[in-house]
Amino acid sequence: MRRGPAAGALVAVLTMLTTACASVTGGTASPVVPAAGAAAMAPAAVTSPSTATVDPSGPAETPVATPVATPVAQPTPAGSPAVPEPATDPGPAPDPAPANWADATDDEIRAAAGAATGATDRFWSESFAAGASSWASAGPWSPPELWGGDGFYDSDTGSVADCGDGKNYVGNAFFCGNTTSGTGFLAWDLQFFHRHLDLGRTMVDMVIAHETGHAVQARLVHDGVAGALFDGSRRYELQADCLGGAALGRAVRDGYLTLPAGAPDEMRRVASAFGGDPAGHGTPEQRDASFQRGFAAGDPATCLADPGS
């Protein structure tokens, strides 16, 4: 999904996409729903994702240590108890996250995406295993493949994932799949996350949860679950927002995902930045309402009963 008019001067492009949500230049790619007998889209891309390349940094200069004289230990008089060395207070452990997410490095972005991917996959694995009667699917959850093994490609190096449909996926994040197979693959451009660091770290969680929501929709439609959408409509996008919210909400409450302290404000910023786009993802208010409905419920049934308007 793109950053809509409500984002003002914010850079245009998110893609909480369809079967490739909005691309940087080409609007919304329609979800692939092959006609009877049609082959699944881009099977080669699904089975053999390419590997993203990260721009290596130069070698660090090694500092020269200054020799320090070693004091000579004095012997302890016979019969005297040994005097232990005073303990050294190591101080607080360093915070692995940057003080300001706007300064996040490639590694920190990849780590955040890995945590979001793991949490959403765990939620859907547990949800499908529970087999809730209101939305029961045909079998266990089979997560979509991740492009390059972790979902990342890097357009700055010329490595760009695509759905084999000729669209431009530079600076994008998307699910590519269909209802014939009920699955596909997930991919996101490292540079896409860099360009939207101003929205906060929660944006990474929301994008990945939303795109995984599209993979869930493909699977549920494949399994004939009532209420599931995979038609490229605005309600389809809002349902993916709700499904993504359900995954993150349950993961946070069950303790296997930790969001930043400022997550509520960041959620609203993401909805504002990526709502109202021409790709039809919904207004900022609609996107926020759908995501928050799922987040509060932590239950896919909520999203299937009311995809949004």
CA distance linking residue 5 with residue 26, whole number of Å = 17
Residue 272 scores a pLDDT above 60? yes
Residue 41 lies in a domain: yes
The closest alpha carbon to 130, from 308, 298, 307, 293, belongs to 298
Residue 83 scores a pLDDT above 50? no
Backbone angles phi, psi at 27, to 5 degrees: 70, -145
Q: Are 216 and 300 in contact (CB under 8 A)?
A: yes
Residue 168 lies in a domain: yes
Give the predicted TM-score (pTM) of the model. Answer: 0.72
Average pLDDT along the chain: 76
3-state secondary structure of 189: strand
pLDDT of residue 275: 87
- Digit-coded pLDDT (tens) for 245-266: 999 999 999 999 999 999 999 9
Residue 67 lies in a domain: no
Residue 165 structure tokens: 């449909």
> DSSP state, 198?
G
Q: Are 27 and 279 in contact (CB under 8 A)?
A: yes
pLDDT of residue 10: 32
The closest alpha carbon to 15, from 7, 304, 114, 4, belongs to 4
pLDDT of residue 55: 38
The closest alpha carbon to 157, from 119, 194, 103, belongs to 194
Residue 78 lies in a domain: no
Residue 81 lies in a domain: no
Residue 265 lies in a domain: yes
pLDDT of residue 213: 98
Number of domains, the chain:
1
| Percent of residues, the chain, with pLDDT higher than 90 | 59
pLDDT of residue 43: 32
What mean pLDDT comes out for the span 213-237? 95
Residue 80 lies in a domain: no
Q: Given 3-state DSSP classes, what are the helix, strand and coil percentages for the chain, each rounded to the nearest 5?
A: 40, 5, 55
Greater pLDDT, 308 or 55 = 308
Residue 75 scores a pLDDT above 60? no
Q: Are 186 and 145 in contact (CB under 8 A)?
A: yes
| Percent of residues, the chain, with pLDDT higher than 70 | 66
Residue 23 scores a pLDDT above 90? no
- Domain extent at residue 139: 5-50+99-305
CA distance linking residue 297 with residue 299, whole number of Å = 5
Residue 141 lies in a domain: yes
What mean pLDDT comes out for the span 12-28? 39
